[in-house]
């Protein structure tokens, strides 16, 4: 048996033991055991492919493989066999994160080889490699690997997560890196043929406040501007900002190809919940820039480990740019395919205290619009997934103009609140996506998003609107019961 077959066997066995209480209904997740970053996002021959960091042998992180999912519509996903297994001379200890491109009609994955030298001292080296597939399912590692054997001279050993794209006659690659002085940065390479790479230089680096290592870079044009997405490690918490162990965010500005100069503004977090990291994007044939993140955080509590699996990916989200160069993030249009039944609970009504929509459904989309201009309340919001001891609260303070996601009673020991400033103006619109163990909040059409895992016990359900210290005007309160896309998936039974 080869390494991929072995891993597939292990997954089949592990899949039989998975406890379903927190299994996702419409999010990407593993058949069993561990996943982290999304990798290799691409629309290839009309289908969307999502690969991901995967340890098929255990519910904890370990030697990284690449798991594989594909979809025609970004909503209904199909598990495919594992695409990459580690263990060759150049990727001895892991096939770390990377990206995908169409290469002479084939599907090529560009990934980091992780190679342990001394586990106890955490001494390792990392390089960049390529694997190619003719059918989009079975991948062969190139004989030229590693295509980039080592980082530039002034670099520390962190050298990973290549994102590759084509522009005019050349291929380009950004890589996450750390300088010898432990300054987080992104470096750029160029190649005429995807195999021979020339180092161009540093694209951007920390000004001293943005951490020691920048993971999972992505660099693209969005509505005439250049965006560098990064997942920095080592940023200090600062008020409501940078509350998670690591962050994902962006620098936005203008890029001069001739000089490799990227003039950009300050770092902004892309999401404000507890669980959002290692985001990557793809450009699809409709011209949409679609982002997907890992919906967890390193070192966080993951109760599903006890159930034989851990890790999920966010809904695919479309990125657009507002006039003031703020990135807006909204679920892709296709998310509407998930809607089974629509419940228009109320419209244009005054709310004083609370109003409960009883439902025993677990997979929900909820839309609530508060008419802020017509509210005397100090706070207004929504309570979900609990009626007694448990609850997850989305609360807007009209006095502070702060949106809060309160997960302190959502079934986890450690998670508390996350806040984001949002000047709602006349209206606050909340679009919530609730799955068995996650919530994604899209506020005011993507101006702020908050993404977190929650672990409520079964049987505590319902959607409750509330106003505190005054009345609130509810312009709309609608919910949809969503489909379970995994029901009937043989690979999960
Ligand atoms: C980000 C990351 C990447 C790395 C991968 C390993 O979460 O640390 O930098 O390639 O995960 O699984």
Q: What is the pLDDT of residues 250-259, one digit of tens each?
A: 999 999 999 9
Residue 134 scores a pLDDT above 70: yes
State in Å: Cα 135 to ligand 1 middle: 27
Q: Measured from the CA of 215, which atom of ligand 1 is nearest?
A: 9
Residue 107 tokens, joined: 């599907």
- Is any atom of ligand 1 closer than 6 Å to the C-beta of 36? yes
**Residue whose C-alpha is closest to residue 128's, from 219, 200, 194:** 194
Residue 87 tokens, joined: 């263990």
**Residue whose C-alpha is closest to residue 215's, from 249, 181, 241, 190:** 249
pLDDT at 343: 98
State in Å: Cα 203 to ligand 1 middle: 20
State in Å: Cα 348 to ligand 1 middle: 47
Residue 74 scores a pLDDT above 80: yes
- Is any atom of ligand 1 closer than 6 Å to the C-beta of 37? yes
Residue 23 scores a pLDDT above 60: yes
Decide: helix, strand or coil at residue 481. Answer: strand
Decide: helix, strand or coil at residue 125. Answer: strand
CA distance 308 to 33: 6
Say if residue 88 is preceded by a cis peptide, omega within 30 of 0. Answer: no
pLDDT at 488: 76
Looking at per-residue pLDDT, the higher value among 459 and 314 belongs to: 314
Q: Where in the chain is the domain with CATH 2.115.10.20?
A: 2-331
Looking at per-residue pLDDT, the higher value among 493 and 199 belongs to: 199
pLDDT at 388: 73
Which residues have C-beta within 8 Å of that of residue 294, sequence separation ≥ 6? 35, 36, 37, 38, 52, 53, 275, 276, 277, 278, 279, 311, 313, 314
- What mean pLDDT is predicted for residues 299-328? 97
Confidence of residue 389 (pLDDT cuts 50, 70, 90): confident
Q: Measured from the CA of 161, which atom of ligand 1 is nearest?
A: 10
- Is any atom of ligand 1 closer than 6 Å to the C-beta of 280? no
Domain 2-331 in CATH 2.115.10.20: yes
Confidence of residue 481 (pLDDT cuts 50, 70, 90): very high
The answer to whether residues 399 and 333 touch, using CB atoms and an 8 Å cutoff, is no
Annotated active-site residue 218? The verdict is no
Q: How many CB atoms lie within 10 A of CB 452?
A: 27
CA dist 146 → 125, 156, 317 (Å): 12, 18, 33
Residue 447 tokens, joined: 């101006």
Instruction: Measure CA of the first residue to CA of the last residue in the chain; give whole Å.
Output: 23
Residue 411: CA count within 13 A, CB half-sphere: 22
- What mean pLDDT is predicted for residues 243-264? 96
Q: Is 453 exposed, middle or buried (0-12, 13-18, 19+ CB in 10 A)?
A: buried
The label of the residue with tokens 């002085």 reads: 181
State in Å: Cα 468 to ligand 1 middle: 42
CA distance 423 to 425: 6
Looking at per-residue pLDDT, the higher value among 389 and 15 belongs to: 15
Which residues have C-beta within 8 Å of that of residue 98, sequence separation ≥ 6? 39, 40, 109, 110, 111, 112, 128, 161, 162, 163, 164
CA distance 218 to 116: 26
Residue 216 tokens, joined: 């999972």
- Is any atom of ligand 1 closer than 6 Å to the C-beta of 216? yes
pLDDT at 459: 64
Confidence of residue 327 (pLDDT cuts 50, 70, 90): very high
Choosing from 215, 217, 247 the residue with most ligand 1 atoms within 8 A of its CB, the one to mutate for a pocket test is 215
- Is any atom of ligand 1 closer than 6 Å to the C-beta of 318? no
Please give the radius of gyration of the chain, using alpha carbons only, rounded to the nearest integer: 22
Q: What is the CATH number of domain 334-482?
A: 2.60.120.560
Mean pLDDT, rounded, of the chain: 96
**Residue whose C-alpha is closest to residue 394's, from 226, 272, 267, 232:** 272
Residue 493 scores a pLDDT above 60: no
Instruction: Provide the CA 269 distance to its chain's centre, in angstroms.
Output: 13
State in Å: Cα 482 to ligand 1 middle: 31
User: Which residues are paired to 355 by β-bridges?
Assistant: 465
Residue 461 scores a pLDDT above 90: no
pLDDT at 490: 61
Residue 458 scores a pLDDT above 80: no
Q: Where in the chain is the domain with CATH 2.60.120.560?
A: 334-482
- Is any atom of ligand 1 closer than 6 Å to the C-beta of 197? no
- Which residue in 37, 284, 307, 415 is the catalytic one? 37
- What mean pLDDT is predicted for residues 78-103? 98
CA distance 178 to 154: 9
pLDDT at 467: 97
Confidence of residue 460 (pLDDT cuts 50, 70, 90): low
Residue 413 scores a pLDDT above 90: no
pLDDT at 30: 98
Beta strands 463-482 and 339-357, pairing class: antiparallel
CA angle, residues 425, 430, 435, in degrees to nearest 5: 165
Which residues have C-beta within 8 Å of that of residue 228, sequence separation ≥ 6? 174, 186, 203, 204, 217, 218, 219, 250, 251, 252, 262, 264
- Is any atom of ligand 1 closer than 6 Å to the C-beta of 129? no
- Report percent pLDDT > 70 for the chain: 98
Residue nearest to atom 6 of ligand 1 (CA): 96
Residue 125 scores a pLDDT above 60: yes
- What mean pLDDT is predicted for residues 379-404? 92
Q: Is 193 exposed, middle or buried (0-12, 13-18, 19+ CB in 10 A)?
A: exposed
Q: How many CB atoms lie within 10 A of CB 360?
A: 9
Q: What is the DSSP letter of 286?
A: T
């Amino acid at each position: 048996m080869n390494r991929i077959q072995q891993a597939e066997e292990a997954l089949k066995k592990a899949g039989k033991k998975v406890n379903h209480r927190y299994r996702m209904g419409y999010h990407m997740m593993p058949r069993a055991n561990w996943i982290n970053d999304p990798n290799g996002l691409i629309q290839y021959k009309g289908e969307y492919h999502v690969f991901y960091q995967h340890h098929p042998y255990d519910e904890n992180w370990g030697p990284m493989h690449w798991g594989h999912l594909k979809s025609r519509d970004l909503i209904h996903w199909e598990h495919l066999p594992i695409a990459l297994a580690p263990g060759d001379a150049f990727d001895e200890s892991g096939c770390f994160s990377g990206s995908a491109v169409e290469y002479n009609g084939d599907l090529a994955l560009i990934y980091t080889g992780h190679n342990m030298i001394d586990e106890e001292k955490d001494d390792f080296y990392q390089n960049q490699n390529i694997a190619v597939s003719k059918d989009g399912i079975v991948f062969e590692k190139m004989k030229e690997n590693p295509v980039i054997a080592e980082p530039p001279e002034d670099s520390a050993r962190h050298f990973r997560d290549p994102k590759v794209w084509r522009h005019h006659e050349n291929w380009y690659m950004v890589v996450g890196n750390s300088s010898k002085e432990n300054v987080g940065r992104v470096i750029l390479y160029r190649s005429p043929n995807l195999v021979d790479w020339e180092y161009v230089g540093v694209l951007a680096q920390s000004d001293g406040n943005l951490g020691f290592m920048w993971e999972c870079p992505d660099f693209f044009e969005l509505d005439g501007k250049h965006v560098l997405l990064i997942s920095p490690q080592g940023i200090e918490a600062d008020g409501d900002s940078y509350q998670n162990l690591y962050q994902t965010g962006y620098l936005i500005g203008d890029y001069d190809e001739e000089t490799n100069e990227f003039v950009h503004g300050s770092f902004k977090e892309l999401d404000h919940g507890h669980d959002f990291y290692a985001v990557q994007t793809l450009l699809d044939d409709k011209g949409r820039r679609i982002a997907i993140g890992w919906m967890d955080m390193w070192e966080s509590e993951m109760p599903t480990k006890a159930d034989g699996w851990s890790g999920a990916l966010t809904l695919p989200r479309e990125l657009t740019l507002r006039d003031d160069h703020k990135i807006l993030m909204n679920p892709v249009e296709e998310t509407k395919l998930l809607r089974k039944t629509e419940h228009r609970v109320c419209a244009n009504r005054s709310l004083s205290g609370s109003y409960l929509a009883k439902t025993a459904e677990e997979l929900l989309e909820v839309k609530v619009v508060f008419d802020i201009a017509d509210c005397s309340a100090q706070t207004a919001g929504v309570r979900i997934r609990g009626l007694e001891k448990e609850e997850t609260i989305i609360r807007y303070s009209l006095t502070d103009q702060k949106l809060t996601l309160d997960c302190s009673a959502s079934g986890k020991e450690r998670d508390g609140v996350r806040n984001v400033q949002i000047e709602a103006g006349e209206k606050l619109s909340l679009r919530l996506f609730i799955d068995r163990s996650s919530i994604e909040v899209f506020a005011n059409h993507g101006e702020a998003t908050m993404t977190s895992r929650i672990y409520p016990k079964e049987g505590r359900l319902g959607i409750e609107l509330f106003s505190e210290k005054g009345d609130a005007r509810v312009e709309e309160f609608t919910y949809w019961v969503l489909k379970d896309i995994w029901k009937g998936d043989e690979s999960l039974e």
